[in-house]
Amino acid sequence: MSILRYLCVDSNTMKTKDLHNNKSTTGITDHFKGQSKVGIKDIKEYFRKTVPGIQDNAIYARIHELKNKGIIAAVAKDVYSFTPKPLWIPSPDNDIKKVEQTIRKQFISADILLWDTSWLNEFTNLQAFRKLIIIEPEEIIAESVFYFLKEKGFKEVYFKPGTKEIELYAGNSPLTYIIKSLVSKSPVLKKNSHTPSIEKILVDLYCEKELFYSYQDVELSNIWTNIFKKYIVNRSTLFSYSSRRGKQKDIEEFMNRLNLIDQV
* pLDDT, tens only, 210-227: 999 889 999 999 999 999
User: What residue spans of the chain are helical by DSSP H?
Assistant: 3-20, 22-31, 40-50, 56-68, 94-106, 142-151, 163-165, 198-207, 218-230, 235-244, 248-257
Structural domain contains residue 87: no
User: pLDDT, tens digit, for every residue of 237-246?
Assistant: 999 999 999 9
pLDDT of residue 43: 92
Residue 124 pLDDT grade (very low, low, confident, very high; cuts 50, 70, 90): very high
CA-wise closest residue to 141 among 175, 108, 99: 108
Show the domain range for 44: 3-81
CATH number at residue 25: 1.10.10.10
* Total-model pTM: 0.80
User: pLDDT, tens digit, for every residue of 138-174?
Assistant: 999 999 999 999 999 999 999 998 777 777 766 678 9
Residue 74 pLDDT grade (very low, low, confident, very high; cuts 50, 70, 90): confident
DSSP sequence for 226-254? HHHHHS---HHHHHHHHHHTT-HHHHHHH
pLDDT of residue 44: 92
pLDDT of residue 9: 37
222-250: string of b/e by CB count within 10 Å (b at 16+)?
A: bbbeebbeebbbbbebbbbbbeebebbee
Domain boundary among 48, 81, 114: 81
Average pLDDT over residues 222-237: 94
Average pLDDT over residues 245-257: 97
Residues 129 and 32 in one domain: no
Residues 128 and 203 in one domain: yes
Lowest-confidence region among 17-31, 121-135, 160-174, 242-256: 17-31
Residues 76 and 112 in one domain: no
Residues 76 and 134 in one domain: no
Domain boundary among 81, 103, 131: 81
User: Looking at the 3D structure of the chain, how many domains does it have?
Assistant: 2
pLDDT of residue 199: 96
Does residue 164 or residue 112 have the better pLDDT? 112
Residue 24 pLDDT grade (very low, low, confident, very high; cuts 50, 70, 90): low
* pLDDT above 80 (res 105): yes
